[in-house]
Structure 1
Amino acid sequence: MPDYLPATAHQPFGQSLNSQVQVQIFRHRTTQQSLMIPAVAEPLLVLIVSGAAVIEERIGNEEWTATPVAAGDFFLTTSPLPYEMRWQTESDGGFEVMHVYLSQHLLDLAARDIVSCPDGVQRLREVSGERDPEVTGLMRSLYHEVTSNPQASSLYLQGVGQALAVHLSRRYGDGSEPSKRMNALPAYKLHKAIATLQTGMDSAFSLERLASEAGMSVSHFSRLFKKATGRSPSQYFIHLRMETARELLLESDLSILNVALEVGYASPSYFAQLFRRHTGITPREYRRRS
């Protein structure tokens, strides 16, 4: 999620990118700039930890759906397509949220145990801004483990994650026939690919390396990455570079030449051309207007 949220609208507070249970915590401020939430294989759980806001969501060019939320409310999203989100906080203090991805392995175990789905994947229904004391309690256990320990216990996260998967299977299964496994990139592999892009931002782009780290062919990885993010891997790499450049222009005293070098462009004119294509204005105009 840090790669999809506007830098000026959120503050990462804690995370544990375990391959079975991924936890990310953010403190948000209001943003009218919509952001794309990736479409990965696993459902996304979001708990409002503190504060209040009105959250708007939409897929494609559909109408925005607004949901007022406060601490204790949660979302369960299983969209097979990337979708847009924006929010208006109730106060200047913003609000704190926790995002949790449970691995497909944990969800499969729960489905087999609870609803006998040996050959398929149980469908979970969409939830927007509802309350469930058991979901809240289990997610707050994950929150406490991540925020209270320098190194969160993988065993603890997996135990709580499995209990959460069982509860979701019992209460939020949509009752339809088992579905085929979603042909999408697992969240863990998506985050690993993005981390590789971020650490190599000043280096040449290598699609082969990303595909190899994900254990996939180049064509299969490219297709699933674009399905998850709405951008090809190379387009997403440029997007990351431009977002980093925007942040550097706002928050540092680096010259435009040095900003270009920081994000991997030796030619200031080429950097300015890409930046304008990305933002609609030149780096100099962006810094001056901001």
Structure 2
Amino acid sequence: MEPPVHQPENEVLKPKGAQRITAESMPHHLPGTPQVYALLPQMQDVMVQLFSHHSTVEPILVPAVVEPLLVLVLAGTARVEERSLGGEWKAVNVQAGDFFLTNTSEPYEMRWQTMGCDTFEVMHLYLGLPLIDRAVRDLLGEHTDPVTFLEISGAQDERVNFMLDQLRFELTEERTPSLLFVHSLAQALTVHLLRRYLDPQSTTRRSNALQAYKLRRVIDAMNERLADDFRLAHLAHIADLSEYHFSRMFKRATGLSPSQYFIRLRMSRARHLLLETNRSIIDVGLEVGYSSPGHFSQVFRREVGVTPSAYRQA
């Protein structure tokens, strides 16, 4: 990643392209190269990234991410500053054990200064929408609308700290990480976040979002036809809405347009096939709807960050 360009203090960084991205794309927007642990194939709704950060004086534009993001400070201390685009800087001093919870639908800016050390280490955990949806149905009922979390910066929570540390240990220290164990931790963590950090205004803000039961029907239909062409009319019919209203309500519920979400599901399936089978890259591309290997590779690289062959080798 290229170093950040100097930005005068009184200017506002402008987001490039879509305002919300998927977790896989986040490393392209932050300095450094993280260790990435994508847990496949049984679970495609958790991603862990480990970063070691030096001081970053110039503001970095952080795109909003579809998945809620938890950041745990693993080591070191730093002064972290955040602001909405055009807003005032808000600063917090953080140390090992502090965490951030981000669920914003808008890009924002960050910068940080290490204190008494050269680097500080953090862990990113992204919780997928299907995982959250299951926890919401368990706690709040089958027909609960999609929810959002409160924004937390530099707080302490023993349960969050414990479960994130257990996830990190399982992935980095165990010779054969258990997906069952990691999935159980992720589910427990999601339930805890819903109980303690649910934004009480989220239902009001998303009153025009696609209802949870319709969203599940649509996503199930997408998964059943990943090899077929994307058909907006078919999905809108499942939701019993016009194409226009369906597209607006789907994006309000998920942060992505129906076609973008469909591509995301295709790439999740492709990652599973690349890692868990010996099928050729051409066959994998065909199963997720790409008859042209070049087109499949182009889309995969755009969404995941590397080519299919590089992903399999890694």
TM-score over 0.5 (shorter chain): yes
Using a 3 Å threshold, how does the CA distance of structure 1 residues 166 and 211 change in structure 2: closer, same or farther?
farther
Using a 3 Å threshold, how does the CA distance of structure 1 residues 113 and 82 change in structure 2: closer, same or farther?
same
**Are residues 1:92 and 2:124 paired?**
no
Match of 2:37 among 10, 13, 16: 16
Alpha-carbon shift at residue 159 of structure 1 (Å): 1.2
Aligned to 2:180: 155
Question: Do 1:21 and 1:157's aligned partners in 2 also have CA atoms closer than 8 Å?
Answer: no
Match of 1:52 among 77, 93, 102: 77
> How big is the alpha-carbon RMSD for the aligned residues of Structure 1 and Structure 2?
3.3
Number of residue pairs the alignment of both structures matches:
203
Take 2:142 and 2:91, find their aligned partners in 1: how far apart are those partners?
34
Q: Summarize deviations over 1:99-131 as a string: whole Å, max 9, x none.
A: 000111111111111122624112211111111
Question: Do 2:36 and 2:48's aligned partners in 1 also have CA atoms closer than 8 Å?
Answer: yes
SS in structure 2 of the partner of residue 2 of structure 1:
helix
Alpha-carbon shift at residue 58 of structure 1 (Å): 1.7
Aligned to 1:286: none
Aligned to 1:68: 93
Aligned to 1:182: 254
Q: Percent identity?
A: 38
Take 1:134 and 1:53, find their aligned partners in 2: how far apart are those partners?
22
**Are residues 1:27 and 2:39 paired?**
no
Aligned to 2:165: 140
Alpha-carbon shift at residue 27 of structure 1 (Å): 1.3
Q: Summarize deviations over 1:195-237 as a string: whole Å, max 9, x none.
A: x9xxxxxxxxx995478659xxxxxxxxxxxxxxxxxx7xxx9
Q: Which amino acid aligns with 2:52?
A: R
Q: Which amino acid aligns with 1:169?
A: L
Alpha-carbon shift at residue 150 of structure 1 (Å): 4.9
Using a 3 Å threshold, how does the CA distance of structure 1 residues 61 and 142 change in structure 2: closer, same or farther?
same
Structure 2: give runs of 5+ residues left out of the alignment. 1-25, 210-252, 272-292, 307-314
Q: Which amino acid aligns with 2:199?
A: D
Alpha-carbon shift at residue 155 of structure 1 (Å): 2.4
Take 1:104 and 1:162, find their aligned partners in 2: how far apart are those partners?
12
Take 2:56 and 2:102, find their aligned partners in 1: how far apart are those partners?
20
Using a 3 Å threshold, how does the CA distance of structure 1 residues 207 and 75 change in structure 2: closer, same or farther?
farther
Take 2:134 and 2:180, find their aligned partners in 1: how far apart are those partners?
16
The normalised TM-score by structure 2 is 0.57
SS in structure 1 of the partner of residue 94 of structure 2:
strand
The normalised TM-score by structure 1 is 0.61
Take 2:67 and 2:76, find their aligned partners in 1: how far apart are those partners?
27
Q: Summarize deviations over 1:246-268 as a string: whole Å, max 9, x none.
A: xxxxxxxxxxxxxxxxxxxxxxx
